[in-house]
Amino acid sequence: MNSTTDTHADHYRRIRENPRFIALIQTRSRMTWKLSALVLCGYFLFMGVAASLPELLHQPLYPGSHLSLGIPIATLLIVIAWLLTAWYVYRANTHFDSLSASIVKESQV
């Protein structure tokens, strides 16, 4: 290996061993798992209700309505998933990216 490769390997090693980087990875991983679980639980709960109690979702939204209760619930589920995704992207672009940049910068000594 040449000196450039050694320099890059040392740089990456310093980043991986940085306690702030380890905390960043753990925090980001915990958040992504929680958000994924939240969205999946919502979808599976909706599908479970649709499979086991379809009459609940077939109820009209209000008396005389042609719109069933399932439509706004499904729409709300999709909107919540979008909002959670938008929140994660905002959090990643503001907090995680700036923390990553500072970790890389401090490891370039």
**Does the pLDDT value for residue 5 go beyond 80?**
no
Tokens found for residue 65: 């309505």
Q: What is the pLDDT averaged over residues 40-67?
A: 95
Does pLDDT of 85 surpass 70? yes
CA neighbor of 41 nearest in space, from 68, 73, 81, 91:
81
Long-range contacts of 92-100 (CB under 8 A, 24+ apart): 92/28, 96/24, 96/28, 99/20, 99/24, 100/24
CA–CA gap between residue 4 and residue 86 (Å, rounded): 39
**pLDDT score, position 63:** 92
Residue 69 main-chain phi, psi, to 5 deg: -65, -25
Mean pLDDT, rounded, for 78-101: 94
Instruction: Give mean pLDDT, residues 85-100.
Output: 93
Confidence band for 15, pLDDT divided at 50, 70 and 90: confident
- Check: pTM over 0.85? Answer yes or no: no
Asked if the model's pLDDT at residue 6 lies above 80, the reply is no
